[in-house]
Amino acid sequence: MFKAVLFDMDGVIVDTEPLHKKAYYMMFDHFNISVSDALFRELYRAIYNQYL
């Protein structure tokens, strides 16, 4: 039985950015959307920076 739950919301414990990128690209493929790595980095950085 679990006595605690640990949330790593900012990637301190586990680097989840590669998994996010993979999930985004799986979604893009599903909807036949073409997104270059450069565009993805630009959009991802813009979304991330709004929370800083």
pLDDT for 11-52, tens place per residue? 778 888 888 889 999 999 999 999 999 998 888 888 777 765
Dig out the tokens for 49 from the structure: 């920076």
Q: Beta-carbon neighbour count of residue 40 at 10 Å?
A: 14
Q: What's the pTM? A: 0.64
Q: Report the alpha-carbon distance of residue 22 to residue 1 in Å, rounded.
A: 32
pLDDT for position 26 = 97
Where does 1-52 have alpha helices with state H? 17-30, 37-49
In this prediction, residue 9 has a pLDDT band, given cuts at 50, 70 and 90, of confident
Q: Report the alpha-carbon distance of residue 42 to residue 21 in Å, rounded.
A: 13
